């Protein structure tokens, strides 16, 4: 099933008197349970595309359909609703609320979805267990390691059962071993049927995906399947992914 | 899932309150400093209204003891814009004037000549300086609402005979007679010995200015002229009590006519006396209190305003500081309205807490002030204070909260 359908979108920023074309004529389709990496050097427009895919921003031109709904015409509040229910964000800097414990951080999307306390707590707890943090539920971010923080963020992204997981350089702030663990977790999540979009500039990380979309100067340079895809070995894993 | 709209609002309110409370607790010192402005503002507003109410209540009590249906014929007009030097040149009112007046006046319930001085009063080792010493006739009591703790007012025989008898106010009695009853005891007024024939019930000890109705002594007017004042030099006041409040206007008109006759004034001559009323005192007092009230409200309002600006300032800082957090919240689905209410609730909770603390301080302070004049915090003052605190919180939080709500999530997430 088609989840994302982008047709000829462009994003133009006005910087002083100059128009900056961050994206030009980009078309992209992403189906359910795909594992796509978006690659490109800095300034290639991958952040802009990610913001667009994540419904944080709307295109200046073109059409963006998310699950057959035209996102480009939606109001801020409708976009917030889509982000809340359909998109799970994983950021490079984790972006957890520093003063809240892991459980509350994971609970947050469910609060905004208006789900009552009991159900919310249960789902958040289960999401934390799924990423292997059952003994860190009441720890605050500063009491957790980088890898653990990213796993809390992944639990937060998964808790509302979104249509896509949007991971922006998820291993960028982690050492390679921890990064590998996170990528294994992504792999497991993908295997369970989720759609993952990975934004990265690292070839090694991108190779975890089944398909790579390469951007350059605001245009899609190449869109190809990965011939020698890297499948992380479960043996290396310390995670008991349920 | 929540389907009902009211449930949704309640849900958001509850969650918003929890988030606001966490934010306040996370920054205890800053939250307290922010609150300080509101604490000071609210406690001064409550204290101010309480103080004014207290002064007002005791004044009303005092003035009703003096009687609102009494006229005071005096050389001086009490409340007037007339030049004082004009009144200074008026002839004095004499005992002779009084006798003529009392004979002719038909309407009054009672009339009495009054004059006064300030003297030292002593009983044994107990001395009170500057007691108001009133000289009057036995009819004076009929122009007042006096009640007696003990004894009676001096009678006509004692008054006409200029005997050495005295009626003392409650405070004078309390200070002089520290052990047992003062009735029939001999006290010294300005060195002259008097027998106490009556002790007045307390009338309320606080009135504007230095006049205290409980700090008075009454003696026959003949006696005061014999020892303390010169009848040839001083002027007297004639107290005239109407039969009832509805007769005041008629009694006043009659009094003016008779006084003109007594003083031998021609039709073209101005009155050389004034008929005064408590009403004048009341309206004068009301203006004074009104001015105090407006000035007080202005000043306390100013402190609230400053407090509100403090909150607005801190909320702006807080929004700036939490830009990234706002970005994250928006990315995971917080709507504009949710962010707006989060910050509004935060400033409202700060203000309500500040209001509560301010109220507490005001209650404690009013208990201390109660030693000087009667105070009591009205439930209305509490409600007003808390509403003002809440409104201040909402108004002060509005601009910062709006700034937070309309942040672009992309920009906010990028903020470091």
Is the model's pLDDT at B208 over the cut of 70? no
Residues facing residue A168 across a β-bridge = A199
Interface test with chain B among A22, A52, A55, A114, by most B beta carbons within 10 Å: A114
Nearest CA in chain B to A105: B329
Q: Indicate the number of domains in chain A.
A: 1
Range of the domain at A213: 2-236
Would you state the pLDDT for residue A7?
A: 93
Residue A242 located in a structural domain: no
Q: How confident is the model at residue A242 (pLDDT cuts 50, 70, 90)?
A: very low
- Look at residues A81, A77, A79, A131 and name the one whose alpha carbon lies nearest to residue A105: A131
Average pLDDT over residues A1-23: 90
User: Residue A197 in contact with residue A167, Cβ under 8 Å?
Assistant: yes
Instruction: Give A99's contacts in chain B (Cβ within 8 Å).
Output: 22-23, 26
A/B interface, count of CB pairs below 8 Å: 65
Which has the higher per-residue pLDDT, B217 or B285?
B217
Q: Is B17 on the interface with A (CB under 8 A)?
A: no
**Quick one: which of A100, A113, A144, A148 has its CA closest to A128?**
A148
Q: Could you report the per-residue pLDDT of A101-152, keeping only the tens digit for each? A: 999 999 999 999 989 889 999 999 999 999 999 999 999 999 999 999 999 9
pLDDT of B399: 94
Q: Domain for residue A62, yes or no?
A: yes
How big is chain A, counted in residues?
242
**pLDDT tier at B1, thresholds 50, 70, 90:** very low
| Residue B411: CB atoms within 10 Å | 12
Each residue of A147-168: pLDDT tens digit?
999 999 999 999 999 999 999 9
What is the C-alpha separation between A57 and B324, in angstroms, rounded? 16
Supply the CATH number for residue A202's domain: 3.40.50.300
Nearest to B369 by CA among B59, B44, B39, B65: B44
Q: Which long-range contacts (CB under 8 A, 24 or more apart) does B412-415 make?
A: B412/B323, B412/B324, B412/B326, B412/B327, B412/B330, B413/A56, B413/A91, B413/A95, B413/B324, B413/B327, B413/B328, B413/B331, B414/B327, B415/B323, B415/B324, B415/B327
The chain A residues in contact with chain B (CB within 8 A) are: 51, 54, 56-57, 76-77, 80-81, 83-85, 89, 91, 95-97, 99-100, 108-109, 111-116, 156, 160
Question: B26 — contact with chain A (CB < 8 Å)?
Answer: yes
Per-residue pLDDT averaged across B39-66, rounded?
Answer: 77
Distance CA(B2)–CA(A115), nearest Å, equals 7
Tokens matching residue B69: 């249906």
| B384-409 per-residue burial string, b: 16 or more CB within 10 A, e: under 16 | ebbebbeebbebbbbebbebbbebeb
Pairing of strands A35-39, A211-216: parallel
Residue in A56, A97, A100 closest to B331 by CB: A56
Give how far the C-alpha of residue B84 lies from the chain's centroid of Cα atoms, to the nearest Å. Answer: 28
pLDDT at B95: 92
Task: Please say if the pLDDT value at position B22 is more than 60.
Answer: yes
Three-state secondary structure call for residue B60: helix
Report the alpha-carbon angle B278-B283-B289, nearest 5: 120
- Look at residue B403 in the predicted model and tell me its pLDDT: 95
pTM to 2 decimals? 0.69
Sign of the CA dihedral running A231, A234, A239, A241: positive
| CA dist list (Å): A49 to A36, A145, A210, A214, B236 | 13, 30, 19, 11, 99
Taking the C-alpha atoms of residue A59 and residue A80, their distance in angstroms, rounded to an integer, is 16
Residue numbers in A near B15 (CB within 8 A): 111
Say if CB B221 and CB B234 are below 8 A apart.
no
B-chain residues within 8 Å CB-CB of A51?
Answer: 410
pLDDT value, residue B67:
64
Q: What are phi and psi of A149, to 5 degrees?
A: -60, -45
Our CA-based measurement puts residue A88 at a distance from the nearest CA of chain B, in whole angstroms, of 7
User: Tokens at residue A138, please?
Assistant: 């009441």
Q: Kindly write down the DSSP assignment for every residue of B148-173, as one continuous string.
A: EEEE----HHHHHTT-SEEEE-HHHH
Higher pLDDT, B296 or B401: B401
Confidence of residue B12 (pLDDT cuts 50, 70, 90): confident
Please provide the average confidence, as pLDDT, over all residues in chain A.
91
Closest-CA residue to B403 (of B291, B276, B312):
B312
* Mean pLDDT value across residues B151-172: 93
Q: Which residues of A touch B410 (CB under 8 A)?
A: 51, 56-57
| pLDDT exceeds 90 at position B136 | yes
Which has the closest alpha carbon to B409: A89, A160, A101, A38?
Answer: A89
Q: Do B328 and A97 touch (CB under 8 A)?
A: yes
- Return d(Cα A71, Cα B214) in angstroms, integer: 83
- Residues B120, B190: contact at Cβ < 8 Å? yes
The helix/strand/coil state of A40 is coil
> pLDDT tens-digit profile of B74-125?
988 877 766 777 788 888 999 999 999 999 999 999 999 999 999 999 998 9
Q: Give SS3 for A107.
A: helix
Asked whether the predicted pLDDT for residue B64 surpasses 60, the reply is: yes
* Radius of gyration (C-alpha) of chain B in whole angstroms: 33
Chain A contacts in chain B segment 312-341 (CB below 8 A): 324-325, 327-338
Alpha-carbon distance of B303 to B45, in angstroms, equals 9
Helices (H), B191-277: 221-227, 248-262
Spatial separation of the C-alpha atoms in residues B47 and B369, rounded to whole Å? 9
Least confident of A133-147, B41-55, B250-264: B41-55
ipTM over 0.90: yes
- The predicted pLDDT at position B291 comes to 85
> Per the domain annotation, does A11 fall within a domain?
yes
């Amino acid at each position: 099933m088609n989840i994302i359908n982008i047709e000829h979108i462009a994003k133009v920023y006005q910087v002083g008197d100059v128009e900056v074309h961050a994206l030009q004529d980009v078309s992209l389709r992403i189906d359910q349970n795909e594992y796509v990496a978006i690659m490109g050097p800095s300034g290639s427009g991958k952040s802009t595309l990610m913001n667009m895919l994540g419904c944080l921003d709307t295109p200046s031109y073109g059409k963006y359909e998310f699950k057959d709904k035209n996102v480009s015409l939606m109001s801020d509040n409708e976009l917030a609703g889509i982000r809340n229910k359909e998109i799970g964000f994983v950021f490079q800097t984790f972006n957890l609320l520093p003063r809240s414990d892991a459980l509350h951080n994971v609970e947050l999307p469910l609060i905004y979805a208006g789900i009552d306390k009991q159900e919310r707590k249960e789902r958040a707890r289960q999401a934390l267990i799924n990423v292997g943090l059952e003994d860190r539920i009441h720890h605050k971010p500063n009491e957790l390691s980088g890898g653990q923080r990213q796993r809390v963020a992944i639990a937060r992204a998964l808790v509302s059962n979104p249509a896509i997981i949007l991971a922006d350089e998820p291993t960028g702030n982690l050492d390679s071993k921890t990064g590998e663990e996170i990528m294994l977790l992504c792999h497991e999540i993908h295997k369970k049927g989720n759609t993952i979009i990975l934004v990265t500039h690292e070839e090694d990380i991108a190779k975890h995906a089944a398909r790579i979309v390469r951007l350059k100067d605001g245009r899609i340079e190449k869109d190809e399947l990965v011939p020698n895809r890297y499948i992380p070995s479960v043996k290396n894993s310390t995670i008991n992914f349920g | 899932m929540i389907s009902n709209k009211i449930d949704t609002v309640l849900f958001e309110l509850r969650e918003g309150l929890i988030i606001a409370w966490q934010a306040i607790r996370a920054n205890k010192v800053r939250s307290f400093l922010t609150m300080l402005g509101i604490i000071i503002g609210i406690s001064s507003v409550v204290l101010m209204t309480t103080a004014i109410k207290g002064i007002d209540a005791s004044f009303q009590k005092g003035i009703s003891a003096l009687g609102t249906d009494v006229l005071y014929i005096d050389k001086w007009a009490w409340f007037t814009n007339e030049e004082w030097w004009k009144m200074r040149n008026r002839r004095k009112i004499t005992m002779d004037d009084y006798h003529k007046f009392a004979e002719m006046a038909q309407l009054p319930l009672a009339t009495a000549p009054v004059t006064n001085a300030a003297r030292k009063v002593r009983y044994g080792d107990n001395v009170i300086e500057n007691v108001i010493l009133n000289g009057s006739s036995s009819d004076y009591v009929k122009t007042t609402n006096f009640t007696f703790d003990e004894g009676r007012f001096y009678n006509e025989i004692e008054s006409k005979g200029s005997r050495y008898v005295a009626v003392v106010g409650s405070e004078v009695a309390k200070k002089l007679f520290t052990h047992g009853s003062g009735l029939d005891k001999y006290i010294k007024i300005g060195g002259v010995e008097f027998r106490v024939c009556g002790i007045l019930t307390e009338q309320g000890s606080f009135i504007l200015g230095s006049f205290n109705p409980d700090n008075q002594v009454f003696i026959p007017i003949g006696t005061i002229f014999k020892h303390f004042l010169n009848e040839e030099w001083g002027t007297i006041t004639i107290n005239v009590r109407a039969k009832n409040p509805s007769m005041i206007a008629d009694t006043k008109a009659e009094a003016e006519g008779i006084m003109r006759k007594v003083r031998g004034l021609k039709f073209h001559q101005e009155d050389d006396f004034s008929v005064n009323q408590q009403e004048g005192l009341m309206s004068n007092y009301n203006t004074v209190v009104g001015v105090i009230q407006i000035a007080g409200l202005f000043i306390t309002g100013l402190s609230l305003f400053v407090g509100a600006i403090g909150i607005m300032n801190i909320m702006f800082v807080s929004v700036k500081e939490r830009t990234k957090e706002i970005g994250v919240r928006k990315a995971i689905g917080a709507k504009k309205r949710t962010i707006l209410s989060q910050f509004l609730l935060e400033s409202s909770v700060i203000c309500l807490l500040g209001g509560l603390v301010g109220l507490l301080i005001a209650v404690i302070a009013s208990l201390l002030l109660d030693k000087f004049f009667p105070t009591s915090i009205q439930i209305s003052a509490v409600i007003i204070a808390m509403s003002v605190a809440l409104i201040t919180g909402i108004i002060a939080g509005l601009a910062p909260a709006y700034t937070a709500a309309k942040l672009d999530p992309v920009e906010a997430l990028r903020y470091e």
